[in-house]
Amino acid sequence: MTVRETSAKTYYDLEKEGRLAKQSGRVYDWVLKQNRMVTRSEISAHTGISINAVAGRVNELVSRGFLLETGKIKCPISNRTVYGLQAKTTEKAS
């Protein structure tokens, strides 16, 4: 099993236990599928979740170790330089 698959499995195990909200799941799924750094605005635009809700879900996923802020990038939506996000690719997500 790859590291990405292990991280995804851990996430889905938590989801099955009811420990993650549906919006968090949608955010995580979308970021995981991108396989690149993304911005909160991109997540909002592509998932249909409001930017305020995305910010909260991202904070939750970062604190649980599923997402990482991995550096600054130019957001294609806002044209601002912001912190990019990626799905964590280690087995130590908690």
Q: pTM for the full model?
A: 0.75
In contact, 3 and 90? CB cutoff 8 Å: yes
The reported pLDDT for the residue numbered 66 is 93
**What ranges in 1-94 are assigned the alpha helix state H?**
3-16, 22-34, 40-47, 51-63
Phi and psi torsions of 44, nearest 5° = -60, -45
The reported pLDDT for the residue numbered 88 is 87
Per-10-residue mean pLDDT of the chain, 94 residues long, equals 63 61 88 95 95 92 93 96 89 46
Cα dihedral 16, 36, 60, 78 sign? negative
DSSP 78: T
Structural domains for the chain: 3-87 (1.10.10.10)
Closest CA to 35 of 70, 78, 10: 70
